[in-house]
Amino acid sequence: MPTRDKDYYKKRVFDIIEVSKDNDIASTAYDIMITFAVIDGLLPLTIKGTSIYTNILELFSTFIFIVDYSLRIYTSDYKMGVKSYKAYIANLLQPMSIIDLISIVPVISVFFPRIEIIRILKIFRIVRIFKLLRYSKTMRNITNVIRRVKKPLFAVLVLTAIYITASAMFIYQIEPNLFNSFFDALYWATISITTIGYGDISPVTTPGRFITMISALVGVAVIALPSGIITAGFMEEIKKKKSKLEL
């Protein structure tokens, strides 16, 4: 029987903890276990307060998250494709590694439930839902698309922020009695540009209403531009996958 070195087992661990491939039962089982652990870790957010049962759920899911995080750090050299200590540092700084670490933090609230600032850590449980992105092919496609078109999307975001700030400044000056603070004007500008318009703050002067009309029209463009950019990114992603399959 041939001997298997340490690297073989390390590579096998990496294959198991990564997204499962066809005919890899161990990797598929691991994916299912992590998915259930994520769901288990989110259940306490559906219950008011804490109890022994929510604490058990928290400890169980956190234990699995710690094991998962440790194994992912252990196999960093395979993940990053570099046999060096730098691979471990680089992997620690990856967005998903940071999410994995933050997913563990809420367990502190189980041991120190009476300390207010630590109790706030429980809200970080919601971050655990992002761990599911690793196991969804659809979400990975969306992530790839957003990564590809992030510069145009950022440009749209900057332009939107500039318009919101400018319109807030304008309306704040021509409707001095309508807003108690500049933040209220920013709130109005944001709500107006999203075309929601709650109606809790409504301009009464003609220039103010004119700005509101412009904001509503600009809001259509704000929604349409990112949609077009992301759609174009999806088309490129589909073409890229088709070309790989043809090869």
Question: What domains lie within the chain, and their CATH numbers?
Answer: 6-135 (1.20.120), 150-246 (1.10.287.70)
> CA-based diameter of the chain, in Å?
87
pLDDT, residue 117, reads 74
The answer to whether 215 and 203 are in contact (CB under 8 A) is: no
- The beta strands (E) that lie in the chain are given as none
Q: Is 200 strand, coil or helix?
A: coil
The answer to whether 94 and 72 are in contact (CB under 8 A) is: no
For 112-161, give the DSSP string: -TT-HHHHGGGGGGGGGGGGGGGG-HHHHHHHHHHHHTHHHHHHHHHHHH
pLDDT, residue 1, reads 44
Tokens of residue 67, six digits: 């094991």
Tokens of residue 106, six digits: 């809420």
Q: Is 132 strand, coil or helix?
A: helix
How high is the mean pLDDT in each 10-residue block of the chain (247 residues)?
A: 65 83 81 88 81 86 92 88 82 88 87 76 83 73 80 88 89 83 86 70 79 81 81 79 64
The answer to whether 75 and 13 are in contact (CB under 8 A) is: yes
Q: pTM for the full model?
A: 0.65
- The beta strands (E) that lie in 133-232 are given as none
Q: Is 193 strand, coil or helix?
A: helix
Q: Is 78 strand, coil or helix?
A: helix
CB burial of residue 204 (10 Å; 0-12, 13-18, 19+): exposed
pLDDT, residue 69, reads 92
